[in-house]
Structure 1
Amino acid sequence: MTLPFSAISHSTGYSVKTNSPIHHFYPVIAIPARNEEQRLPLLLSALGSQTWLRATARPIVVKIVINNSTDKSLEMARLALDNQPGLSAEIAVVNFPPDLAHVGSARKLAMDLASSACPAEGGVILTTDADAIPEANWIEANLAAISSGADLVGGCLNGNRKEEAQLGPGFAARARAVMQYSRLCDRLASLIDPLEHDPWPRHSDNTGGSLAIKAQLYQSLGGLPAIPLREDLALVSMARSAGGKLVHPLNVRVEVSARLAGRAQGGMADCLKNWIRAEAEGAPILVEDPERVLARLARRRAIRESADSSCALVELLAPDEPDAPATVKVAEATQLICRIISEVEGTTDAA
């Protein structure tokens, strides 16, 4: 369905340095935004301070989709762009019908616009959220990973410390416990189902808060699916099914908001509110059973090592499970997974 939108362009005339080691890539940034009058300018300021600008003297092309907004996101974005000569931006203002008024539709349009702006060779689409703050080397670090052979790059997401502190010590303890367990699960994955292109140490984030993908791969997949929830993870799964190499370098980092008034139903804000509610009720912290994690990883490895192995089969038969049942207390699960990791490491060392 084609929707009418108004577009406002801000462009600059930068010359191109051809001696940069990453000059042959053409990054285009895709940003969905809804009622982000306060945070969108901060993101644009962070993009305008990217080391990529100094390395290449080439403007950063940005595609912003402001959708179904009732605040001054457009006006504030315009003002912010006036102070960012290094950004060549186009703003699309869209009002999706109610059944399409979600982040999947907005991100798809932003990434499709970014894809259209990419050249036939060397185009890379980077997407982030309107409330995110990428580190100064974000673009260069993503492109360095692409240059090293990656097709997709997931960036490490860290919550805003001031906002997280306001959520209280109980929330902080819960968050630390869950994140520690998540990291241990990924460590186990690196041992049971090792991927040469994505070695340990690494992180495990690959969401819309920081995701880069080769434009040619994005186009070959037909673009991002316009679904209401986890459109980013769906794209990652599609890309991996097609043989795309996903990496998680530790130097690709983005700060994300820890606000409780989110824009996406079922998104980060809802997760934070659930944690706060659980803490107030004294509910135990539950995570996926380590034995279940181990079984999934073993299944993945068996599929990869089989004669009929394919990336698509791995995604079909042993996919990531962001909604896996949480049935084991985190302290117990952490103790058990540490024991499993020690046993696997011992076996690996002995071999």
Structure 2
Amino acid sequence: MSIESISKIVTELKAFNHQIPSVSPEIELSVCIPARNEAQTIWKTLTALANQLSGDKAVSTQLYEVLVLCNHCDDHTVELCKLFQELNPAFPFYYYITTNPVINNVGAARRVLMDLASERLKDTGFIIMTDADTIADKNWLESFLKLQSEPIDLVCGQITPDMKGLNAEAKKNLFENRHYLDLVSRLESEIYPQQSDPWPRHSHNSGPNMAIRNSVYKNIGGIPPIACLEDIALYQKVISSGYAIKHAMEPKVTTSCRSSSRVQGGFGSQIQNWSASKTENVEGYDKLRERFTAFDEIEQYYSQTSEELRNSIGHRLKIQKQMLLSLIENHDSSNSLVIYLEKFLKDHAPWNAAHPDISITEAIEELENHFSVFSQTSKIYSSARSELSSLKRFE
């Protein structure tokens, strides 16, 4: 899918959507929501955004806007958007409609919508991503407004899954996965710390709750218009380009756990696998420690080259000297090399032979033993695990 075709669609949408007002110089946040047949959920999504608070007062409607792209909808999504707009005339909400065949996946839809927002927003403002089946916390926008003053280029907010309708097995696996990722994030903060993203932090970095500074969005060439994991690709582009990210404890959203996956490889597919007791092995403590230590050494190496550091990196990651030298030559920053290695190591046979993945239950036990404390996350996880085990016995 070419960027030229997307630019053409953006121009067409601007021309045919006369309801959209001119840009206000006061707008700091532009919320982008792609929607395809979301009649069951979008009303709640919009209601949460229309009732945002700053303290005990409503967030000023001069500071934000909400843009929805109704993409190939053949249910009542468009009619609901129109009705919501009519019933809430003070709410800065505007929707676009398209049936253009070029916009044939969620990545393309996000790209069109975020490009539209980028043209309407000042460079210092945030383009915020969320979904039409996601409910924002009442202080969601206020949290982003506060983060604007920090030297942060990409904000990843917390995401709470709405587990209604999931079977006990899916709930158990979801709890395990989230707890494991939180422990991994904590270990990463300990071994490979980032100034802009200190502990405590979370492990979420996906489309229902993410914001990018407009100047950065322009500089990296926008979000990739790909069929799946476009949010992760954007996250990786930001890091590779050397910009500052933050996994902020605020803002928060709740998103659905629908198991009828709309995208192969997306969260819905993961829910399907968990519901059917299909789980994958993960990195254990030793493997994570070696990887994060190597990444920290890579950051040091780019600050001051050292043969000793380079040898240590190669030894830890099981990469031969000439290959490592070639990789360093092809990546002009440590961030770029680290992002590349995160993907490369998944299929790097010597690395995986030295550190085979293990079950997630074993990995959690190893990480908890390392920290030697029963953190609040651990308490929640253990309590939930016990409760779910009891529920499963009565199913």
Q: Normalising TM by the smaller chain, what interval?
A: 0.7 to 0.9
Distance in 2 (CA, whole Å) between partners of 1:224 and 1:28 is: 15
Normalised to the residue count of structure 2, the TM-score between the two structures is: 0.75
Helix, strand or coil for the counterpart of 1:203?
Answer: coil
Superposition map of 1:53-132 within 5 A: 54-58=58-62, 60-97=64-101, 100-119=103-122, 121-132=123-134
Superposition map of 1:1-351 within 5 A: 1=5, 2-3=8-9, 4-5=12-13, 6-7=16-17, 9=19, 26-51=28-53, 54-58=58-62, 60-97=64-101, 100-119=103-122, 121-161=123-163, 163=164, 166-278=165-277, 286-306=281-301, 307=304, 310-318=334-342, 327-342=357-372
Mapped contact 1:25–1:122 kept (Cα < 8 A): no
Pairwise CA RMSD? 2.9
Q: Which moved more, 1:58-67 or 1:32-41?
A: 58-67
Helix, strand or coil for the counterpart of 1:136?
Answer: coil
Q: Based on CA coordinates, which of the two structures has the bigger radius of gyration?
A: 2
Distance in 1 (CA, whole Å) between partners of 2:250 and 2:219 is: 28
| Structure with more of its chain in helix, by fraction | 2
Distance in 2 (CA, whole Å) between partners of 1:321 and 1:236 is: 19
Mapped contact 2:52–2:59 kept (Cα < 8 A): no
CA deviations over 1:193-247 (Å, ceiling 9, x no partner)? 0112111111111111111111011011111110111111111111112221110
Letter of the aligned partner of 2:65 in structure 1? V
Q: Residues 195 and 318 of structure 1: is their aligned pair in 2 closer, same or farther, counting only changes over 3 Å? A: same
How many Å apart are 1:276 and its aligned residue?
A: 0.6
Runs (5+) with no aligned partner, structure 1: 17-23, 344-351
How many Å apart are 1:261 and its aligned residue?
A: 2.2
CA deviations over 1:118-164 (Å, ceiling 9, x no partner)? 02x43211110111001011111122223122111001111114x1x
Normalised to the residue count of structure 1, the TM-score between the two structures is: 0.84
Q: What is the percentage of aligned positions where both structures have the same residue?
A: 30
Distance in 1 (CA, whole Å) between partners of 2:47 and 2:346 is: 32
**Aligned pair count?**
326
Mapped contact 1:62–1:89 kept (Cα < 8 A): yes
Letter of the aligned partner of 1:317 in structure 2? L
